[in-house]
Amino acid sequence: MENLDLLLTADLLNDVFDPKTSVTLEYLEWQYRKNPAGSACVGYLHEQGKQISNYALIPKFFKNHLGEKITLGLGVDLAVSPNSRGKGLFRKTIEKSYEAGIDGNLDGILGIANSQSSPRMTGAMGWRKLQPLDLKLLKLSKSAVDLKTFRMGFDQFKQSEAKEVFDFETLSLTSGFSPIWNSELLAWRLSRPGSDYYLHVSESAFLVSTKVSFGGLKIAVLLKALPINSKETLIPIAPFAAGIAKYHRTPFITYWGKNQHFEMNGIKVPRKLQPSPLDLVVYFFEKNNNFLLNEFELLDFDAF
């Protein structure tokens, strides 16, 4: 990634996506270069001094119940300049990311694609679509768990008492692969520039939430749930969701994903009602047809 000018990358992403909050150099430095799991592996193309395409693979560690570990690149920021479309650059950029990923010792790519791009990945590029994950409105119990809550801004987790209670790498796993979390990775993830995270801690669980407004209605979003001690049985999420709802003063807690430690009971939101339903797609540089993803949540990629 030595020749990648992140200012040009920011210009491209802002031009293509026109986000409400502009992509900044600070944000790209955090995401592409400060990740404890390794620097981003980026496929990109230049033309006349401008970056005209981009696909970044953010290294992420996964482990299964047998102790096998793999490193996948989370595919983010797939973009082709509007002035350069129709030239086959979508495929060329992804193929460039393959080269970068192999050079960066990644095992493959995990993509989080919308319903428009996923058919191109699976149909034209030979990726495999994984089982879709549900978007839910979580069930709230009448009695709430007493949660100690920390509001986390930029880089505050490193100075927080909260980080001292975690040893996530010792959690027991079921079949399939799950993301590996430790204090260092969590501190980096929670230091995302411009973030607004809330850490909720009890004797048995650690949860991360944020809040959004939808049509003027304030809604809390559960981004991650981790048990503090390994459990043999699923932990009901409803008492914790009730505690988060009480803190945020909202009747709704939304959740997208799959968790092997918690029972995420709630009302499923049909895909046809979702503004942009997400698909998980995977591509391995060497064949791995047995890959199953057993756990994945919103904090595991860049949605918030």
pLDDT tens digits along 97-132: 999 999 999 999 999 988 777 788 888 788 999 988
pTM of the model: 0.91
CATH number, position 97: 3.40.630.30
Tell which wins on pLDDT, 266 or 168: 266
Distance between CA atoms of residues 101 and 73, nearest Å: 7
Tell me the average pLDDT across 1-21.
Answer: 90
Q: pLDDT band at residue 1, thresholds of 50, 70 and 90?
A: low
Question: Has residue 97 been placed in a domain?
Answer: yes
Residue 193 CB coordination number (10 Å): 16
Question: Has residue 50 been placed in a domain?
Answer: yes
pLDDT tens digits along 144-177: 888 988 887 544 555 555 555 555 666 666 678 9
Helices (H) and strands (E) in the chain, counts: 6, 17
Cα dihedral: 201, 207, 212, 217 (round 10): -70
Nearest 5°: the CA angle 118, 54, 51 is 145
Q: Do residue 228 and residue 139 come from a single domain?
A: yes
Residue written as token pair 């799950």: 178
Measured CA to CA in angstroms, residue 99 lies from 38, 45, 55, 149, 265 at distances of 16, 13, 12, 43, 41
Q: Give the chain's radius of gyration (CA, Å).
A: 19
Tell which wins on pLDDT, 238 or 159: 238
290 token code pair: 């047995």
Tell which wins on pLDDT, 169 or 287: 287
Q: How far is CA 246 from the centre of its chain?
A: 25
What is the end-to-end Cα distance of the chain in Å, rounded?
A: 25
pLDDT at 161: 52
Position 2: which residue type? E
pLDDT at 154: 42
pLDDT at 288: 73
Q: Do residue 123 and residue 15 come from a single domain?
A: yes
Say if residues 228 and 207 touch (Cβ distance below 8 Å).
Answer: no
Burial 198-217 (b: 16+ CB within 10 A, else e): bbbbeeebbbbbbbeeeeee
Which H or E element spans position 73?
strand 69-80
Question: Has residue 304 been placed in a domain?
Answer: no
The total number of structural domains that make up the chain:
2
Tell me the average pLDDT across 4-13.
Answer: 95
Q: pLDDT band at residue 225, thresholds of 50, 70 and 90?
A: very high
**Host domain of residue 43:** 6-132+277-299
What does DSSP assign to residue 300?
Answer: G
Q: Do residue 237 and residue 291 come from a single domain?
A: no
Position 225: which residue type? A
Measured CA to CA in angstroms, residue 98 lies from 55, 69, 71, 108 at distances of 10, 20, 14, 8
SS3 243: helix
pLDDT at 166: 57
Q: Do residue 120 and residue 52 come from a single domain?
A: yes
What does DSSP assign to residue 132?
Answer: P
pLDDT tens digits along 174-197: 678 999 998 889 889 999 998 889
pLDDT tens digits along 46-105: 998 899 999 999 999 999 888 889 999 999 999 999 988 878 899 999 999 999 999 999
Q: Do residue 144 and residue 88 come from a single domain?
A: no
Question: Has residue 1 been placed in a domain?
Answer: no
Q: Do residue 26 and residue 121 come from a single domain?
A: yes
Question: Has residue 150 been placed in a domain?
Answer: yes
Distance between CA atoms of residues 254 and 136, nearest Å: 6
Position 204: which residue type? S
Question: Has residue 148 been placed in a domain?
Answer: yes
CATH number, position 144: 3.40.630
What proportions of the chain, in percent to the nearest 5, are helix, strand and coil?
25, 35, 40
pLDDT tens digits along 207-223: 999 999 877 888 999 99
Q: Do residue 258 and residue 168 come from a single domain?
A: yes
Q: Do residue 198 and residue 155 come from a single domain?
A: yes
Question: Has residue 104 been placed in a domain?
Answer: yes
pLDDT at 28: 97
Residues sharing a CB contact under 8 Å with residue 1, sequence separation 6 or more, in sequence order:
32, 33, 39, 40, 41, 42, 100
Say if residues 233 and 104 touch (Cβ distance below 8 Å).
Answer: no
pLDDT at 113: 83
Question: Has residue 161 been placed in a domain?
Answer: yes
Helices 6-17 and 25-33, packing angle to 10 deg: 110
